[in-house]
Amino acid sequence: MGEISEQVNQKNALGWAARDTSGLLSPFTFSRRATGEKDVTFKVMYCGICHSDLHMLKNEWGVSTYPLVPGHEVVGLVTEVGSKVEKFKVGDKVGVGCMVGSCRSCDNCANNIENYCRNYILTYGAKYYDGTITYGGYSDVMVVDEHFVVRIPEKLPLDATAPLLCAGITVYSPLRFYGLDKPGMHVGVVGLGGLGHVAVKFAKAMGVKVTVISTSPNKKKESIEHLGVDSFLVSRDQDEMQAAMDTMDGIIDTVSAPHPLLPLIGLLKSNGKLVLVGAPEKPLELPVFPLLLGRKMVGGSNIGGMKETQEMLDFAAKHNITAEIELIPMDYVNTAMERLLKADVRYRFVIDIANTLKSSS
């Protein structure tokens, strides 16, 4: 009896999916599970396009299954809540980031770092507890366990807030964890894209002096005048890099393509920290002498736990921080992916799901 009613209560959903490693997206109908007692069901309003979506669409990490419905920067309005849901009600503005599940019993889960749980479940392309494959936010509706849903603060606009759910937490977490959030510190941000520009905004709000390190000289003017960056280094300019040596307490490196670490380590003061949040597939060269001679460190970080994600959103609301976005209709998504590959976006595409994801009938 129960099984039949579950099937009856499953929702029809419309999304856009890639069917193969070409990564080309097109309309895809599927179903979402019935709203369980701890689930929150919401109408998706907007979804950010993360560079990870591009990697996954083309199976660049070798873990993709098709059809693949990406999207882990999802915001929307609650339409239904399960009987045991306490934190949300119909009409609430909510968001979902990179995870929709974890084991809930290990030390990491108990310590609010579900993102480091060995069995965490990604929002798309992963196997859920019930054996089904998860489908992400390039779709009209989502059903998510309330533990993995965050509240979008009232004053934040939904569209420009969506990217904070991945890009935002990805840079916020290491700024806090590695202690690069103290007023007066000097932090470098490598790469001025979706992650980089949000890192700049968070660091400035924390009272930190920020230098952007980029390969593109043409980003300089906007980063200083518009994003409030204190200085800008063109990484290929040896004189500029040399002059800035030994000046930074830390660096957040958002670049996921292979790149040399030596010049970045040189920018750090003694005891400085280089934190990688982009993940190149192949190993990078680590020069050991400079690390030793200044007692410097190279560390990594991967998104953040649910508690910290909520804290990040509340911090963003307090300091009026949102992403700089280009809002696009659903059917522009393949073009957007091509432009993203060329880093041709200031600084995040966000899909206007509610207004443009329509069924063909």
Binding site for another protein (CB under 8 A): 108, 113, 116, 177, 238, 241-242, 245, 261-263, 266, 270, 273, 276-277, 279-281, 283-302
- Tell me how far, at minimum, the Cβ of 202 lies from another protein, in Å: 18
Q: What value does the CA radius of gyration of the chain take, rounded to a whole number of Å?
A: 21
Cβ closest to another protein, residue 36 vs residue 250 = 250
Residue 175: CB minimum distance to another protein, A:
13
336 exposed, middle or buried (CB, 10 Å; 0-12, 13-18, 19+)? buried
Q: Which is nearer to another protein, 18 or 166 (CB)?
A: 166
Are the beta carbons of 193 and 343 closer than 8 angstroms?
yes
Compare residues 268 and 351 and give the one whose CB is closer to another protein. Answer: 268
DSSP string, 20-55: STT--EEEEEEEEPP--TTEEEEEEEEEE--HHHHH
Least Cα distance to 261 among 280, 33, 315 occurs for 280
Q: 118 Cβ partners below 8 Å, 6+ apart? A: 103, 106, 108
Whole-angstrom Cα distance, residue 265 to residue 200?
A: 19
Nearer CB in complex with another protein: 107/154: 107
Minimum CB distance to another protein, residue 222 (Å): 27
The rounded distance, in Å, linking the Cα atoms of 167 and 194 is 6
Q: Which is nearer to another protein, 114 or 140 (CB)?
A: 114
Burial of residue 183 (CB within 10 Å: 0-12, 13-18, 19+) is exposed
CB of residue 138 vs another protein: minimum separation in angstroms? 24
State in angstroms the smallest separation of the CB of 63 from another protein.
Answer: 12
CB nearer to another protein: give 86 or 285.
Answer: 285
Nearer to another protein, 238 or 335 (CB): 238
Residue of 37, 233, 250 lying closest to 145 (CA atoms): 37
Cβ of residue 299: shortest distance to another protein, in angstroms? 3
- Least separation in angstroms between CB 327 and another protein: 30
Write the burial class of residue 143 (CB in 10 Å: 0-12 exposed, 13-18 middle, 19+ buried): buried
Q: How far is residue 53 from each of residues 136, 151, 292, 345, 357, measured CA to CA in Å? A: 10, 23, 37, 15, 18
Q: Quick one: 94 or 171, whose CB is closer to another protein?
A: 171
Q: How far is the CB of 263 from another protein (least distance, A)?
A: 6
